[in-house]
Chains A and B, each alone.
Chain A
Amino acid sequence: MKAALAAAVAAVAAANTWLVRLLALLMLGVLGWQVFMRSALSAPPSWSEELALLAFTWAVLLAVAGGVRDGIHVRMDLLLDRLPAAARALMERGLLLATAFVGGFLAWAGARYAAESVGTTSAATAYPMSLLYASAVVCGALILLFALERLLLGAPDTRA
């Protein structure tokens, strides 16, 4: 059961990693096209900045969630380092619970926000604004998932 759960979360994490990479390439391609059109043809596209920012928000929020799984978020561990091993392990569990709570809250509040924005669209490309705000929902859900994974299954091997 534990192994199946770990495999499922690893698959979600792998999909998240690839999505972040694709979004980064999309940003690069779209803004590269903007630079070319503006400097070579003096005809910058009207949609490029908005699309790049949409991809940026999604890429960053997904990467923030991925950072929870990899345990890379910047923190101060001066106190943690001074605790005995058992107390430190207990404290780490508490911190993961707090992180999971933030993720759950973000997903819930983000879902309300995305639902409220249904029907509104962006200025230049008219994409639905709920698509932008859904990034907070997915980010929150992934933070919750990855924090719970570390809490229940231990730190995953992310070297690959």
Chain B
Amino acid sequence: MSLVALILSLGFAALVALGLPFAFALALAVIASLYASGLDPMLLPQTLVAGTQSFSLLVIPFFMLAGEVMAAGDLSRRLVNVADVFVRHLPGGLGLVTIIAALVFAAVSGSAPATTAAIGTVMIPAMAERGYSRAYATALAVSAGVLAPLIPPSIAFVIWGVIAEQSIAKLFLSGVMPGLLMAAGMVALVLWQARRGDIPRRPRASVAEVGQALREGVWVLLAPVIVLGGIYGGLFTPTESAVVACLYVLAIALFVQRSLHWRTLGAVISRAMATTALVLAIVGFSQGFGILVAQEQLAPALTRWLAGHVHDKWVMLALLNLGFFVLAAVMDEVAIMVILGPMLIAIARQYGVDPIHFGSMIVTNVAIGMAAPPIGYCLFVGMAIARLKLADVARSIMPFVAMMLLVLFLVTYVPMFSLWLLR
């Protein structure tokens, strides 16, 4: 192994283990490799800037902003109210409300942390108030939040589409069935929990209550129709749909429902841009890292080695899933996607895996990684809302993670789940 290869693998891993943020660990590994290989130091700024010059990646700040506006502008509460009047009388009613509201929210925002924060802020206290354990309520809100990477539009699919050079619109469609399957699994778990627990059922909503919830929520319910209808009706590109989503929810919150004040808009934009920066810092600094990895021929070498040792495609996919799950326990999922992306794509190509099916499998892994202990990003969002520690929530979220792994199994071994809507 060359010195550069050592820096990019062991050096980078050591920096991450020591606690340097992923983005700066990538940058430092690139800097050290540039000196070790005698390449021009300008590669770092050049690739960093180039990494952000992607029209597809422009969706990220806009979907983040749409999510923040919906949360700050009270639109997520109205969404919850609509779901509430339809399913609250069923066993596990509030749990079902959480899942449905997250599905609709995800169809506008595309961001798992934004969905977890928006829905969790409303639903975790509401569920705790009605007798659900706080840990269970948090686990459910986190699990519902990670539906966002699978339900279109999805930021994770956009990032994967850019890395894998695949159609983002097709990747979006490949996530629908896995996302709905995961949501169905959550519904089953909620119903099972409701039968086991002693949570009182609430009365059915009156016609007047349904009418009021629909009147208050009609605008926000139209948002996913506009976003998804725009993309698949051929009106907008995914990036333009994110812009339209943003402008739409801003108009609703500022002018129609007047639930967002101009004075708070600055802070809302700052929050959206801060979250965007977290993702794009990793994406940006990984560009130079990726070029050096390619130069070292690490991906082809590993792919050849794997091809020599693992002959069955399905065994290879199982190993990739296992590897992703283990890595996600210590590493950010976006970092895994962008750093290992070229290698993963080379492996998928070698074994003849359909690239869209493979994208769906990767993003299902991303969704699971965001919810799974010990460092699932959405798990931390949920814990912050509920003011609970990891140990409190870890046990409650395990059944949900197990169910998601079952969905991953189906997504991996039944390609039809991902490709059905593309036929």
Minimum C-beta distance from A31 to chain B (A): 4
7 contacts between A and B (CB under 8 A): A20-B273, A21-B266, A28-B62, A32-B243, A35-B244, A79-B19, A110-B44
B interface residues, tally (CB under 8 Å): 57
Q: Which of B166-174, B202-210, B217-225, B277-285 contacts A (4 or more CB under 8 A)?
A: B277-285
Contact in complex: B19, A102 (CB < 8 Å): no
Query: Which of B16, B57, B266, B277 has most A Cβ within 10 Å?
Result: B277
Minimum C-beta distance from A118 to chain B (A): 14
Q: Across the interface, which residues of B come within 8 angstroms of A110, CB to CB?
A: 44-45
Query: Which of B42, B270, B284 has most A Cβ within 10 Å?
Result: B42
Minimum C-beta distance from A88 to chain B (A): 9
Q: CB of A105 within 8 A of chain B? A: yes
Contact in complex: B278, A73 (CB < 8 Å): yes
Q: Which of B21-29, B74-82, B101-109, B399-407 contacts A (4 or more CB under 8 A)?
A: B21-29
Q: For chains A and B in complex, what number of residue pairs have CB atoms within 8 angstroms? A: 175
Q: CB of A113 within 8 A of chain B? A: yes
Q: CB of B287 within 8 A of chain A? A: no
Q: CB of B61 within 8 A of chain A? A: yes
Minimum C-beta distance from B384 to chain A (A): 12
C-alpha spacing A31/B27, complex, angstroms: 31
Q: Give me the interface of B with A, judged by CB distance under 8 Å.
A: 15-24, 27-28, 31, 41-42, 44-46, 48-49, 52-55, 57-58, 61-62, 65, 235-236, 239-240, 243-244, 246-247, 266, 269-270, 272-274, 276-278, 280-282, 284, 330-332, 335, 374-375, 377
Nearest-neighbor residue (CB-CB) of B41 within chain A: A109
Minimum C-beta distance from A28 to chain B (A): 6
Contact in complex: B240, A35 (CB < 8 Å): yes
Instruction: Report if A98-B28 is in contact (Cβ < 8 Å); known contacts: A28-B247, A73-B278.
Output: yes
C-alpha spacing A95/B58, complex, angstroms: 30
Q: CB of A148 within 8 A of chain B? A: no
Contact in complex: A136, B19 (CB < 8 Å): no
